[in-house]
Structure 1
Amino acid sequence: MKIQLLRVDATEQHPDEISSESAAREELWKSSFPALRKVRCRVVDRRLALSGQVPSFYLKQMAQSLLLDRFGTELEVDNQLEVTAR
């Protein structure tokens, strides 16, 4: 008897997580702040991580606020954006 082991990738996402990521990116894209269009979004275990760079603390907070308004208590927003002066 042959036993086949399947490798499970820990980074695999549930379809709902992928859908939430797309919704988060869309929310940032339609904002009036072009810098937010470059923000990366990743959802794992009901945690939405924001990464990338923005030019001000205001935009860092704005990204978080937009997504908290959109997702409420559905997802925890982990704002890892880096503020860089240009």
Structure 2
Amino acid sequence: RRLLTSADTFDARCDFAYQLVLLRNPSNAERERSRQLVEQCLAQYQIDDAAALAMATDPAGPLPPNLAASDAAAWTVFCNVLLNLDETVMKR
């Protein structure tokens, strides 16, 4: 949700996510692969509203009225991918 409200364009959101999670900007190849992932997920979630709502709200709770479930779900998948990278910086 923070990502969706932080910027309006794909590139700005992608840069923000990479900076927040990996402390760097994505390479051109990473940006393109990220774009493909988000577009693919968005297409799937636009077809399946129930799956989109489940991905976007569990366990975070209800979406703000201005956020589409399909957008939130697609970006949630993208963020999950970033968080699962070996490169991800985490404090334990």
Same fold (TM over 0.5): no
- Which structure has the highest helix share of the two? 2
TM-score, normalised relative to structure 1:
0.34
* Structure of higher RCO (CA pairs closer than 8 Å, 6+ residues apart): 2
Which structure has the bigger radius of gyration?
Answer: 1
